[in-house]
Amino acid sequence: MAIITAAMVKNLRETTGVGMMDCKQALSENNGDMEAAIDWLRKKGLSKAAKKAGRIAAEGLIGAVTAGTRGVVVEVNSETDFVARNEQFQGLVKMIAQVALKVGADVEAIKAAKVGEITVERAITDAIATIGENMTLRRAAMLEVGKGVVASYIHNAVIEGAGKMGVIVALESDGKTDELAAFGRQLAMHVAAANPQALDSASLDPAVVQREKDVLADKYRQQGKPENVIEKIVESGLKTYYKEVCLMDQAFVHDEKGKSVAQAVKEAEGKIGAAVKITGFVRYALGEGIDRQETDFAAEVAAASGQKKPPEDPATVS
C-alpha cells in the first residue's frame, strides 16, 4: 500500500478542484497513482477540472519572434525570477529567439549557432558566469507556412517579445497580410487563454480519446445505465470534450455570442479576402512540466534556529 503524503493530496486537489478528503480517498483507492486517482474522481462525478495540467513553476522567460511566414517560440530557464528581470538575461532570450528563427527549432543547433565570434552556448555560459545563476535553453518550436503569416502573442510580457507565456499560430492564406496578421494575433491570444490540446478532433492522440471514452462509460455504468444508452451518452460527451480541448471547436474568446473558432475563421475570411487555414499552433507556458524540488520552509527555519522541525499535522497525512 502506497503512503499517501500531504503533498500528493495537495497536488491532486489543485489539479482537480476536489475536496481534500475525496482526493485522499482517490489516492488511497488507486495506490497513489495520480492519473488513476483523477480518473476515479471523474467516474464518481466529483472532478470537473480533471483536464487541468499540473503547472509546476519554473523561472525564466518565454521568447517569441515572427517574420512573415515563419515564427519561433523558445523557453530559457533560470533559477530565480530575479534573473528574469535582469536586462542581460532578457537580451539573451531575445537573441536566442532570433537565432532560432534563422536556424530552426533544434536546441543543439541553436546552441551551436554563432552570434558574432561566439556560439549561443558560449553566450549562455558567459551569462551564467556574469549573473551567477544557472540557466538553460530548455526547448524551442517553429511554425512556417508557404503563403500567409505566423502570428505571435506574449502574455505577461516582461519586455517586448518575452514573458511568462508565448504563443505562435500559423495561418495559410492568399489574403491581405495585414488583416491576416491581426486575426492571427487574436487567435494567438485565444490559444493563450483557452489552452487547446490539439487543432481538431482528428489531431488528438487516439489514446487520449480512448481514455476519455473509458472514463465516461465507466462513470455511467456505475450509475446503472444500460450499454446502448451509455454508447449514446459517450458520443455526446466526446462532442463536449472536443469543445473543451480542440482549437477549432472551442468557443472563440473574442466573441460574446459563443461562436466557435471555426466559425470565427469563416467570418474573418470576408475581411481577409481569401480562405484561411490554421495549420498549427504552439503554446509555451513558463516551467510547465518541470519537476522542481519543493523547499521545506519550516524545516529550513527550524534548522537555522537550531530547533527541530515542527511536527506535521496528522490530519493531512495518512
Res 56: pLDDT: 33
How does pLDDT run across 247-301, given as a tens digit for each residue?
Answer: 999 999 998 888 999 999 999 999 999 999 999 999 999 988 776 555 454 554 4
In this prediction the pTM is: 0.72
| 104-140 residue pLDDT tens | 999 999 999 999 899 999 898 888 878 877 888 999 9
Q: Structural domain boundaries of the chain?
A: 1-54, 59-197+269-285
Percentage with pLDDT > 70 across the chain: 86
Q: Per DSSP, which regions of 58-215 are E strands?
A: 59-67, 70-78, 114-115, 118-119, 135-144, 148-159, 162-172
Amino acid at 254: H
pLDDT in tens, 216-243: 888 888 888 888 888 888 888 888 889 9
Tell me which residue has cell 515564427: 71
- pLDDT at residue 214, as a whole number: 87
Q: What is the mean pLDDT of residues 184-213?
A: 92
Q: Is the pLDDT of residue 1 over 80?
A: no
Confidence of residue 88 (pLDDT cuts 50, 70, 90): very high
| pLDDT of the residue at 49 | 35
Architecture per CATH, domain 59-197+269-285, reads as 2-Layer Sandwich (3.30)
The C-alpha angle with vertex 189 and arms to 187 and 191, in degrees rounded to 5, equals 70
CATH superfamily for 1-54 is Ubiquitin-associated (UBA) domain (1.10.8.10)
pLDDT surpassing 50 at residue 98: yes
| pLDDT over 70 (residue 53) | no
pLDDT of residue 287: 86
Residue 255 neighbours by CB distance under 10 Å? 15
Predicted confidence band at 58 (pLDDT cuts at 50, 70, 90)?
low
Confidence (pLDDT) at 38: 85
pLDDT for 151 beyond 50: yes
Return the higher-pLDDT residue of 4 and 15.
4
* Tally of CB atoms within 10 A around 275: 12
Residue 135 · residue 96 · CB < 8 Å: no
Fold agreement between 1-54 and 59-197+269-285 = no
